[in-house]
Amino acid sequence: MIRATRVELTRLRWRRAIVLLLLTAVVVPLAIAVVIGWQTRPVTHAELERAQQQVEREVDQPYYQRQLERCAERPERYGVRPRDTDLDDPAAVAAACEEQSLPQVDWFLQRSPLDLGRVYEDTVGVAVVTVMALLMILVGATFAGHDWNTGSMGNQLLVESRRGRTWAAKGLAVLLVGLVLAAVVLAAFWGGLAGLASLRGEPVGDAVPGLVWAQSWRGVLLVAGAALGGYFLTMLMRSTVATLGLLFVTAVVVPLLLSISGIDGNECLQPQYHAVAWLTGPLSFPQYDLSCQNLRGDREARIEAGCLVVVDRTDAAVYLGGLLVLAGGASLVSFGRRDVA
């Protein structure tokens, strides 16, 4: 089995289309990391000087001077609160009005420091995993589809007549590539950003490493499962184009029809929500039935009444794992029984 898997890995490595897809799966996440690093780069001395000059020009405008005078007359209307400023002290009021009403240097420096917690909260990691998962579906489909399109599957079975062994070796090769690629890319993505933050002296929250690690290993499994799913479907349908068409219908057409159908709890049937829930945690979807509009209560009561549909990680694992097992079982049975021609 190990020898057969090595052969399949070699065959996979020599497919130019697959190599291109793998390179794209590496380049795109790293490009995202580079963009994040560039957009959060420290402010240079020249940029700071330009911002200060712009503030000075803006402050001299009559509009801001009139606004400053009105703030001094009625400071509370401009957000100057007694608990923060002594309103009986003209100097304190003037300083507060300047801070509240006049342009500040920060207004003209539209860059925030690199914050890994903010990157995580903005679901950038989810986007990276999504890109890799989509590309790995293409890798699995292209790998299997090439053998069927060229007719080389029959030649391979002349060398190894045990179809189950051939099927398993190919699937294991695709799975290993997905696991290694996702692990390396995610480690480089988050490790690179963490190293850059450290070089810049930016603090990293205590909870961020744990959150990133949890999302990353789930992302590795999702990417590997996507590669395996593409392989299973193509071995079943014996056509890369048919696999891509089925995936398009599943990922776009079916969710669209479910969304406009008005079926209660249709979110539980849509694969994209399960994938996101697997990576980020439970997703909640309020239901807008008439019986739910007047329901007031805690979260558990709304869930029990069917007014709040929740997709959690357990649901996602069962749903996505079930689809993978179903596709794999059908693929194995079809490959073992149908003629190879």
User: Which is higher by pLDDT, 44 or 220?
Assistant: 220
Return the higher-pLDDT residue of 71 and 292. Answer: 71
Contact call for residues 283 and 276 (beta carbons, < 8 A): yes
CA atoms within 13 A on the CB side of 245: 6
pLDDT category of residue 251 using cuts at 50, 70 and 90: confident
pLDDT exceeds 70 at position 209: yes
The helix, strand and coil proportions of the chain, stated in percent and rounded to the nearest 5, come to 75, 0, 20
Mean pLDDT of 312-329: 91
Determine the pLDDT at residue 79: 63
| Contact call for residues 268 and 315 (beta carbons, < 8 A) | yes
pLDDT confidence tier of residue 128, bands split at 50, 70 and 90: very high
Q: What angle do CA 227, 229, 230 make, to 5 degrees?
A: 65
Handedness of CA 133, 126, 36, 200 (dihedral sign): negative
State percent of the chain over pLDDT 90.
26
The more confident residue out of 311 and 152 is: 311
- Predicted pLDDT at 35: 92
pLDDT band per the 50, 70, 90 thresholds, residue 270:
confident
pLDDT for res 340 = 66
Q: Does the pLDDT at position 326 exceed 90?
A: yes
pLDDT confidence of residue 130 = 93
Mean pLDDT confidence for 199-213:
85
Which residue has better confidence, 38 or 43? 38
Handedness of CA 172, 177, 180, 185 (dihedral sign): negative
* Average confidence (pLDDT) over 70-90: 64
**Would you state the pLDDT for residue 259?**
73
Instruction: Write out the two tokens for 264.
Output: 């209660």
Q: How far apart are CA 247 and CA 270, in angstroms?
A: 13
End-to-end CA distance of the chain: 24
Over 70: is that where the pLDDT of 115 sits? yes
Q: Which of 192-201, 225-234, 238-247, 286-295 comes out lowest in average pLDDT?
A: 286-295
Mark out the alpha helices in 151-286 (DSSP H runs): 152-159, 163-199, 208-237, 240-248, 254-261, 271-280
Per-residue model confidence (pLDDT) at position 257? 79
Residue with tokens 């380049």: 27
Q: What is the mean predicted confidence (pLDDT) over 221-244?
A: 89
Q: With cut-offs at 50, 70 and 90, classify the pLDDT of residue 249.
A: confident
What number is the average pLDDT over the span 226-255?
85
**pLDDT exceeds cutoff 60 at 123:** yes
Per-residue pLDDT for 131 more than 70?
yes
Residue 39 confidence (pLDDT): 84
Per-residue pLDDT reduced to its tens digit, 21-35: 999 999 999 999 999
CA distances from 5 to 18, 29, 73, 228 (A): 17, 28, 80, 14
- Phi then psi for residue 66, to 5 deg, are -65, -40
SS (H, E, C) 112-125: CCCCHHHHHHCCHH
What are the structure tokens assigned to 308, written together? 């709040």
